[in-house]
Structure 1
Amino acid sequence: MSADPDAVVVGSGPNGLVAAVVLARAGLRVQVREAAAEPGGGLRSLPLFDDGIVHDICSAVHPMAAASRFFREFDLAARGVELRVPPVAYGHPIDGAESAIAYSSLDETCARLGIDAPRWRRLMGPLAVRSRQLVDLLLGDGRHLPRDPAAALLLPPRVLAHGTLLANHAFAGKRAPALLSGVAAHSVTALPSLAGGGASLLLGHLAHSTGWPIPVGGSRRIADALIADLTAHGGSVRTEAPVTDLRELRKTPAILLDVHPKTLLDLGDRLLPAKAGRRLSRAKEGPGAAKVDFLVSAPIPWLDPELARAGTVHLGGTREQVYAAETEVARGRRAAEPFTLVAEPMVTDPTRGRPDRRPVWAYCHVPNDDRADPVELVTRRIERYAPGFADTVLAARGVSAHELGEYNPNYVGGDIGAGAVTPLRLVTGPFPGWDPYRTPLGGVYLCSAATPPGPGVHGMCGYFAARNALRREFGVREMPELSYRPAP
């Protein structure tokens, strides 16, 4: 790019790349600056133990990439990115061989829930029917009236019923409450909570609509598609090009930051008003994630064979056990049996490895900045529900919460949500006001998961930040078309 850019995006995570794509599609000269050697942020995939085995370094399963407004318009499939949906979206072993299973089919799911089948159908059925409208509402900027009021009216009673102590009375059996609590735990906060209730409804119903897909070839394929579109429209990505002070970019009309709020404090320390600086410095971190990448010689030997068909498995036991573990970690203490997520991508994507050399992705919730190596802990958690798993492990790499934060500065202390997840934070972000993406610095916008609608690979934080920057800084009020058009 010969001329000075109109916009610089700092950070090449999914939100940063989405923001860059939107700006470039609007005709701006866009440059992405990335401190790491590889772009993609939470969408990186690498061979760790064997050149032919692909491991997802951060995110692995992408229900929101299949459902969000940006990715629907961007059309990953047309760009050669296949999001393959496993027959079982997520499973949840409870004790021994007893498990709860969320199938793509709502009928099939209910068939295994026994006494709670009618309640699960009443909970998830109406949400699945209005899935697109519901996703657009929950992944919106929180500042516009819903396009479908009927979809909006479905939420309040359900969030209250499953995001408060009322959840203890929502079901009669063990399977349905365990299944829902595992999805609520994706909010990485004390449970029950309104944020957890919202997460359980959003992610839970997607199992029965667009699914919980795994990208063929690894999560990096999503980042590759975004970068290809950016460069096709004149943008560029510079790796190993950190920005350490916003004054480096003072000639740039628009700066969009896909960074943690405390990174903004570091970048603009001498420029930010004192009040804004204090607000950022007081931002509370969420619990951490400790990650393990396994190379195994055989599929995970789950006691319940149905779990072998699941793209994602939640290890947490009963609802009461999930709630207790998540609340303990949110209070800054290690849980004896932490909530653990496991994904075996070759369930649906055989290109990731070979029958005798297979990647397994896992992480558990721990206190923020915890420094313990998680390999033994996570292995033990999997062994409880899949005896003999340890015997299949050929190699393992543990990344503590502290190390995860060092690897990706957006994950401070291993907090993959860019801050503690609360309903207020999901609506206001770090800067309460009508425009939660605009910072007190002229022309500078925050577009990370710290802004509405919050964490997840959906791109909507970057989309909304780019929209607001286009309107305010460049007078562009009509959003550009995002669909794929191959070169003639």
Structure 2
Amino acid sequence: MQKTEYDAIVVGSGPNGFAAAITLQQQGLSVLLIEGKKEIGGGMRTQALTLPGFLHDVCSAVHPMAVLSPFFKSLSLEQYGLELIHPKHAAAHPFDDGTAGILDRSVEETAKGLGKDEEAYLNFMSPVVRDLPKLLPDLLGPFPIPKYPLALAEFGLKAIPSAVYVANKFKTKLARGLWAGMAAHAIQPLGNLTTSAIGLMLMAAGHVAGWPIPKGGSQSVANALAAGFLALGGEIQTDFLVKSLNQLPPARVVLFDVTPKQLVEIAGEKLSASYKNRLVKYRYGMGVFKIDWALSAPIPFKAEACRSAGTVHLGNTLEEIAEGEKMTSEGKQSQKPYVLLSQPSVFDDSRAPEGKHTAWAYCHVPNGSKEDMTAAIENQVERFAPGFKDLIIARSTMNTEQMEAYNPNYIGGDINGGVQDIFQLYTRPVLSLSPYRTSDAGIYLCSSSTPPGGGVHGMCGYHAAKSALKDIFKISIS
């Protein structure tokens, strides 16, 4: 039976909502976690989107940051049934000539596959891989006061420049293309400052801990988090869409796993005019158009290594990817888009009926675009895997409007909770020493619209809960 009053309420059951709720509950507080959908998970949901027996990740699919996250590591989620699968290759980047750049767990093996750029890659990535584990608490939090200033400075010198600038360290199309595919996860023009930060983190994550997929789909991550939260005594209420603070039972503090736009709509009357004005100016980035396929066989990539990669980046050369991302950021649409593709059933036979397969892909589109990118995406897959189209049994598509309808945090299809450029990397959602606090002492923001931004890592929720514990409950945690 639901209580009539709580110490804390968390709205939204994505990875950050769960992280906030668990962190608060671990301190002995009474916590209610509220989810607008009938199922928990936010961006971590798995459904039969195409045909019965074919399980598709509705939003996130591959989780390199989950295995790096200090918060997730502390939970030991395997005790609640989570099993992570590591593909043979973390990621692959094919080219028109049938070759491919490969991101492997080993820095040396990855470098060896880049030919003449072997030494350049080793010189560039080895220090990052060496230092990443000790830098993670600083990199995955707000305004770091570094414990390792020299290592952080070395990382920053590589992370702050644009991906296009950093690409000049490499000479071969293999290295330049592989790098571009990583940096394009930033969902912004590759000429922007700090786009290298995303590429660095993802490449280093692959070397340090891999790019795993959850057995059974991303819903398995949500289910494990829910089991851990309930075991601590927390409460979950689903099918409860919060549109106003008046809907909530009394609580000393409410943490919202929502974006600034939604926070203004839900709690605007409690926020100061100046704070609301800053939230209204928060910028959202490009959206995505997503496809899920039920397939009769694995995708027949020309480059053999791509058939053993959990993630495949389709976009050919750095120049082609950079041009397409620039066009999209300007409101135009490339018909040869950069495509991110995952093929989980190659490694997890629970995702499809025997002998059949699933695949998941998306491309970037202008924010709010309703253009159907099915043909453009499928043409890109066919380009690098001739015969792919003949394998399609069924498909499910989602444009930006449908993405936002499914998950209100995806404003205009923006899956990162706001553009993560140089101006909003550490000023999410506003410039503040404590970006999780709002102008109201009882309201906090814990979504990917706060540092460190998008990704399944839970660190936004953890840091927001840590702030609330200190401010409201006078409890300090490390």
- Using the size of structure 2 for normalisation, the TM-score is 0.96
Residue 168 of structure 1: how far off its partner (Å): 4.8
Residue 247 of structure 1: how far off its partner (Å): 3.5
Cα deviation 1:66-102 (Å, max 9, x = unaligned): 1111011112233321111112111111223021111
| Equivalence for 1:485 | none
Question: What is the correspondence of 1:117-128 to structure 2 with a 5 Å cutoff?
Answer: 117-128=118-129
- Aligned residues of 2:51 and 2:394 also touching (Cα < 8 A): no
1:148 equivalenced with 2:144 (yes/no): no
**Structure 2 CA distance, aligned partners of 1:332 and 1:410?**
21
- Aligned residues of 2:339 and 2:377 also touching (Cα < 8 A): yes
| Equivalence for 2:71 | 70
Residue 236 of structure 1: how far off its partner (Å): 1.4
| Equivalence for 1:432 | 431
| Equivalence for 1:94 | 95
The one-letter amino acid of 2:297's match is A
Deviates more, 1:335-344 or 1:444-453: 335-344
- Using the size of structure 1 for normalisation, the TM-score is 0.95
Residue 398 of structure 1: how far off its partner (Å): 0.7
Residue 245 of structure 1: how far off its partner (Å): 1.1
Cα deviation 1:253-279 (Å, max 9, x = unaligned): 110000011000101222222222222
- Aligned residues of 1:102 and 1:109 also touching (Cα < 8 A): yes
| Equivalence for 1:59 | 60
**Structure 1 CA distance, aligned partners of 2:107 and 2:354?**
31
| Equivalence for 1:105 | 106
Q: Classify 1:269/1:250 alpha carbon distance in 2 versus 1 (closer, same or farther; 3 Å).
A: farther
**Structure 2 CA distance, aligned partners of 1:257 and 1:241?**
14
- Aligned residues of 2:5 and 2:249 also touching (Cα < 8 A): no
Q: Please state whether the residue corresponding to 1:404 is helix, strand or coil.
A: helix
CA-based RMSD: 1.5
- Aligned residues of 2:163 and 2:195 also touching (Cα < 8 A): no
Residue 372 of structure 1: how far off its partner (Å): 2.1
**Structure 2 CA distance, aligned partners of 1:445 and 1:227?**
21
Among the aligned pairs, what percent are the same residue?
39
Residue 217 of structure 1: how far off its partner (Å): 1.0
Residue 105 of structure 1: how far off its partner (Å): 1.8
| Equivalence for 1:387 | 386
**Structure 1 CA distance, aligned partners of 2:117 and 2:104?**
15
1:171 equivalenced with 2:167 (yes/no): no
Question: What is the correspondence of 1:276-295 to structure 2 with a 5 Å cutoff?
Answer: 276-295=275-294
Gaps of 5+ in 2: none
Q: Please state whether the residue corresponding to 2:423 is helix, strand or coil.
A: helix
Greater than 4 Å deviation, 4+ residue runs: none
**Structure 1 CA distance, aligned partners of 2:164 and 2:208?**
28
Q: Classify 1:190/1:347 alpha carbon distance in 2 versus 1 (closer, same or farther; 3 Å).
A: same
| Equivalence for 1:357 | 356
| Equivalence for 2:41 | 40
Residue 112 of structure 1: how far off its partner (Å): 1.5
Q: Classify 1:65/1:165 alpha carbon distance in 2 versus 1 (closer, same or farther; 3 Å).
A: closer
**Structure 2 CA distance, aligned partners of 1:200 and 1:409?**
27
**Structure 2 CA distance, aligned partners of 1:107 and 1:192?**
28
Question: What is the correspondence of 1:28-427 to structure 2 with a 5 Å cutoff?
Answer: 28-142=29-143, 144-160=144-160, 163=162, 165-249=164-248, 251-427=250-426
- Aligned residues of 2:314 and 2:338 also touching (Cα < 8 A): yes
Gaps of 5+ in 1: 480-488
Q: Please state whether the residue corresponding to 1:41 is helix, strand or coil.
A: coil
Q: Please state whether the residue corresponding to 1:253 is helix, strand or coil.
A: strand
The number of residues matched between the two structures is 477
- Aligned residues of 2:188 and 2:326 also touching (Cα < 8 A): yes
The one-letter amino acid of 2:466's match is R
**Structure 2 CA distance, aligned partners of 1:43 and 1:246?**
25
- Aligned residues of 1:49 and 1:395 also touching (Cα < 8 A): yes
Cα deviation 1:365-410 (Å, max 9, x = unaligned): 1111111233222111100100100000000011011210111100
Q: Please state whether the residue corresponding to 1:433 is helix, strand or coil.
A: coil
Residue 51 of structure 1: how far off its partner (Å): 3.4
| Equivalence for 1:441 | 440
**Structure 2 CA distance, aligned partners of 1:227 and 1:196?**
33
Residue 355 of structure 1: how far off its partner (Å): 4.2
Cα deviation 1:96-136 (Å, max 9, x = unaligned): 30211111122221221111110111111122122312333
